[in-house]
Amino acid sequence: MSASPLRSIISGSIGNLVEWFDWYTYSAFALYFAPVFFPKASATAQLLNTAAIFAVGFLMRPLGAALLGAYADRRGRRAALLLSVQLMAGGSLLIALAPGYATIGLGAPALLLLARLLQGISVGGEYGTSATYLSEMAGARHRGFWSSFQYLTLMGGQLLALTVQLTLQQFLTPAEMTTWGWRVPFVLGAGAALGALYLRQHMRETTAFEQEKTEAPVARAAQPSAMQQLLAYPRETLTVVGLTLGGTLAFYTFTTYAQKFLVNTSGFSKEQATLISFGAMAVALLFQPLLGAISDGVGRRPVLLFFGIGATLGTVPLLRLLAHTNSTWVAFGLLVAALFVVSAYTSISAIVKAELFPTHIRALGVGLPYALTVAIFGGTAEYLALFAKEQGREEWFYWYVTGCALLSLLVYWRMGEPRERGHLDSSAPASSVPLNVSKRV
Closest CA to 192 of 82, 95, 84, 89: 89
Q: Domains (ranges, CATH) in the chain?
A: 3-214+222-420 (1.20.1250.20)
**What is the pLDDT at residue 318?**
95
> Tens digits of per-residue pLDDT, 346-364?
998 888 888 888 877 888 8
Query: What is the pLDDT at residue 217?
Result: 56
pLDDT at residue 165 tops 50 = yes
pLDDT at residue 388, as a whole number: 86
Question: In the chain, what is the straight-line distance between the N-terminal and C-terminal CA atoms, in Å?
Answer: 38
pLDDT value, residue 320: 93
Q: What is the pLDDT of residues 199-250, one digit of tens each?
A: 888 788 777 777 777 755 555 555 666 677 777 778 888 989 999 999 999 9
H or E segment at 82?
helix 77-97
Contacts of 314 (CB under 8 A, 6+ apart): 337, 338, 341
Give residue 147's Cα distance to chain centre.
14
Average pLDDT over residues 313-318: 95
User: Of residues 367 and 139, which shows the higher confidence score?
Assistant: 367
More confident residue, 225 or 296: 296
pLDDT beyond 50 at 93? yes
Question: 243, 411 in Cβ contact below 8 A?
Answer: yes
Mean pLDDT of 39-66: 73
Check whether 47 has a pLDDT greater than 80. no
Return the closest-CA partner of residue 374 out of 254, 258, 249, 279: 249
Predicted pLDDT of residue 43: 61
Q: Per-residue pLDDT for 71 more than 80?
A: yes
How far is it, in rounded angstroms, from Cα 343 to Cα 347? Answer: 5
Mean pLDDT of the chain: 82
Sign of CA dihedral 177, 181, 186, 191: negative
Q: If we measure between CA atoms, which residue out of 229, 295, 247 comes closest to residue 401?
A: 247
Q: Provide the H-helix boundaries in 172-299.
A: 174-176, 183-200, 207-215, 217-221, 226-230, 234-254, 256-264, 270-298
The proportion of the chain whose per-residue pLDDT surpasses 90, expressed as a percent, equals 23
Is the pLDDT at 191 greater than 80, yes or no? yes
What pLDDT does residue 209 have?
79
CA 18 to chain centre: 12
pLDDT band for 73, please (50, 70, 90 cuts). Answer: confident
pLDDT for residue 427: 42
Angle at 61 between CA 59 and CA 182, to 5 degrees: 85
Q: Which residues contact 219 (CB under 8 A, 6 or more apart)?
A: 429, 430, 431, 433
Residue ranges of E strands in 23-155: none
Most confident of 130-134, 321-325, 431-435, 436-440: 321-325
